Amino acid sequence: MARCPAHDDSTASLSISQGDDGRTLVYCLAGCKTPAICAAVRLKLSDLFLDKEAPKATANGHTGKFVCAYDYHDAGGKVVYQVMRFDHPKTFSQRRADPARPGKWIEGPGCMDGVARVLYRLPKILNAKVGGKPVIIAEGEKDVDRIAQQGFTATCNPMGAGKWRKEYSETLCGCDCVIVADKDTPGRAHAQEVAASLYGAAKSVRVIELPDLDGKPVKDAHDYFSAGGDAAGIVALVDATPEWTPPAAPKADQTPVASESLAKVEPPAPKLEIPLPEIDNAAALCADDSITLPPEIIRGVLHQGLKAVLGSNAKARKTWILLDAAISVATGTEFWKWHTVKGPVLYINFEIPRAFIRARIKRLCEVKGLGDVGNLDVWTLRGHAAPFWQLFPTLLDKIKAGNYSLIIVDPIYKGLGGRNENDAGDIGELCNELEHLAVQTGAAVLYAAHFSKGNQASKEAIDRISGSGVFGRDADSLIILTKHETPDAYAVDLILRNLPEQPSFVVQWEYPVMVETELNPAKLKQPAGRKPEHAPEELFGLLPGKGFTNGDFLAAAKEQGIPERSFYRLKKELENDGKILLSKVTGKWTPTSPKNKP
């Protein structure tokens, strides 16, 4: 193992080995892609292959020079298959991931039998769909990657022209779609085929061809950008192109005509595709008394329509705390030392089984002396967790009908999908989805995030949350719980964007609630030296009888304070001891003997 050069790596996470065909295999446990790893050390993908001049035939029969492999992900961000490109001669083939051998591939005739085909860059498409952004459809992955580098959301179907499927149009249902036709007969025919399939399913369909530039012939998007074209030129061309409609009869003039004038004049500023509010004049804004602040649903802490994060270490009873907050707002009773404004609450529960969440609510109501919690709705999605970009359309439809004041999401990591919690861009996308949820529903959104491993007392409160710093800086209100020197006690620090500062205080666990104490919040628990190594039995105890995908297994381990590096070591020990195995049917790690754990 080595440190990965493609991300800020404090521990060894990069595996380097040799494949059966002599090529160099690199795999980053943090999720970095092979092209990014190569680029970080100024290597080409082809440098990973021993024999560049005369490569051996692949299992699919290709004797050309391997150029690259394009990953195709499912909605959760997992790589399900690859399209491989070869040159001399130019050909393509596919291979699918081998569920029984992580990092290995199944190739050859029939390798794709039974594999659901997906669009290239599917997670990005679904994220754009949630945000109402347009999607550009090109003919091949090379063009898609060039378009995406300009800030657009782009995709294509695998294996090129003439291979469009009905399910691809279903994926793009409701999207504004722009098809970039290759300027040859197969490319134009493919563009018309895709347009016809999308018509009636997509919100809008446009077909464009990119113009030649400065005497340089342009066939596709890659040529266009190589010739000096830019994103503004594409936006201008799209704005000038009417929506596609089915032809009454084939006509020659229905082939899109490139706007050659774009190469000669400065393109206009890009037209914004998402409706935005008007710019306010400050004097008029101050004079408008109809604009009022939203209610503080938790007085002094959180306004309705804004976002808050509860940050703490593992095993700090975050779910109990969030349930306490939910019940307090639903009933208009105090939460810790704060008054609340009574309103409907939705608790989205990804983690606790339905019977146990029921028991927790009943116990909290008994202790708080409450009988009626009719204002609280609980949506238990344990076993149905998916990335937020996939859940969002259904989520929004159900939530809008509830007119909620507060929506609690527990835990937030269940919505990450294939995204990297240490990547600011990935976490920024997740935070934008939560922002969209707050804006579309008018509800406050409260969620929990865990601390980095180890003692966090020496860090500033805002920097204690694990992963990208975006988590700690995006929310309008942060409630940070840090271990106190007194057992089962936590210092509470508030970081508030729109409300006055509050002094820190200490709460202590008295089942089933945290209660305020007179303890000194400055007396934080200090590091006590190196912690003992985690045991395989500790990881095994987290695995339910029905099993976990690798991502869910890792997330559960992190929630219990098991580092990623230790997780892979412990999992390997359990596998070697015959206690767990990877199911070829479900793709989940499962115990080899029955467990009573749900």
Q: What share of the chain is helix, strand, coil (3-state, %, to 5)?
A: 30, 20, 50
Task: List all residues 6 or more positions away from 300 whose beta carbon is below 8 Å from its beta carbon.
Answer: 338, 499, 500, 502
The answer to whether residues 451 and 421 touch, using CB atoms and an 8 Å cutoff, is no
The pairing of strands 302-303 and 296-298 is antiparallel
Q: Determine the pLDDT at residue 53.
A: 37
Residue 594 pLDDT: 62
β-sheet with 153-155: strand ranges across? 153-155, 135-137, 176-180, 204-208
Q: Using only C-alpha atoms, what is the Rg of the chain?
A: 27
What are the tokens at 129?
A: 């769909």
Q: From edge to edge, which strands make up the β-sheet containing 406-410?
A: 376-380, 345-349, 406-410, 444-450, 307-312, 477-483, 489-496, 505-510, 513-517
The encoded tokens of residue 301 equal 């802490």
Please report where in the chains the tokens 């493609």 appear, as a residue.
Answer: 6
- Scanning 15-112, the segments in alpha helix (DSSP H) are 34-40
Domain-wise residue ranges, the chain: 14-106, 122-263, 296-517, 536-591
pLDDT, residue 34, reads 81
CB-CB contact of 176 with 152 (8 Å)? no
Q: Which residues pair with 8 in a beta bridge?
A: none
What is the pTM (predicted TM-score) of this model?
0.50
Question: Cβ distance 403 to 344 under 8 Å?
Answer: yes
How confident is the model at residue 10, as a pLDDT?
63
The residue behind tokens 């601390």 is 451
Residue 327's H or E segment, with its range, is: helix 318-331
pLDDT of amino acid 425: 72
Fold of 296-517: Rossmann fold (3.40.50)
Q: How far apart are CA 594 and CA 544, in angstroms?
A: 10
Predicted confidence at residue 260, as pLDDT, reads 44
Q: How far apart are CA 226 and CA 213, in angstroms?
A: 10
Q: What is the pLDDT along the chain (598 residues), one digit of tens a residue?
A: 577 877 776 666 777 766 555 567 777 767 777 877 777 766 777 777 654 333 344 545 555 677 888 999 988 888 889 998 887 777 888 898 888 888 788 888 888 888 889 999 999 998 888 888 999 999 999 999 999 988 899 999 998 888 999 999 999 998 999 999 999 999 999 999 999 999 989 999 999 999 999 889 999 999 999 999 999 899 999 999 999 998 865 555 555 544 443 333 343 433 434 456 789 899 998 998 998 999 999 999 999 999 999 988 878 899 999 999 999 999 999 999 999 999 999 999 988 999 999 999 999 999 999 988 889 999 998 887 777 766 776 777 777 666 899 999 988 888 776 667 777 777 777 888 888 888 888 899 999 887 655 555 555 655 556 555 676 678 899 998 988 889 999 999 998 999 998 999 999 999 999 999 999 988 887 665 545 568 888 899 898 888 899 888 999 988 888 888 788 888 888 888 888 988 877 888 888 876 544 4
Alpha-carbon span 114 to 206, nearest angstrom = 33
What residues form DSSP beta bridges with 513?
Answer: 510
DSSP, res 271: P
Q: Are 322 and 355 in contact (CB under 8 A)?
A: no
Q: Which residues contact 80 (CB under 8 A, 6 or more apart)?
A: 72, 73, 74, 96, 97, 115, 116, 118
Closest by CA position to 460, among listed 448, 471, 472, 470: 472
Half-sphere exposure of residue 395, counting CA atoms within 13 Å on the CB side?
A: 29
Residue located via tokens 């015959």: 578
The Cα-based distances of 105 to 30, 51, 120, 216, 550 in angstroms read 20, 20, 18, 40, 17
Selection from 140, 155, 148, 143 nearest residue 223 by Cα:
143
Q: What is the pLDDT of residue 64?
A: 62
Residue-level pLDDT at 160: 87
Query: How far is it, in rounded angstroms, from Cα 30 to Cα 13?
Result: 7
Q: Which CATH class is domain 122-263?
A: alpha beta
- One-letter amino acid of 445: V
Task: Specify the pLDDT at position 257.
Answer: 47
Q: What is the pLDDT of residue 55?
A: 38
The whole-angstrom separation of Cα 404 and Cα 426 is: 27
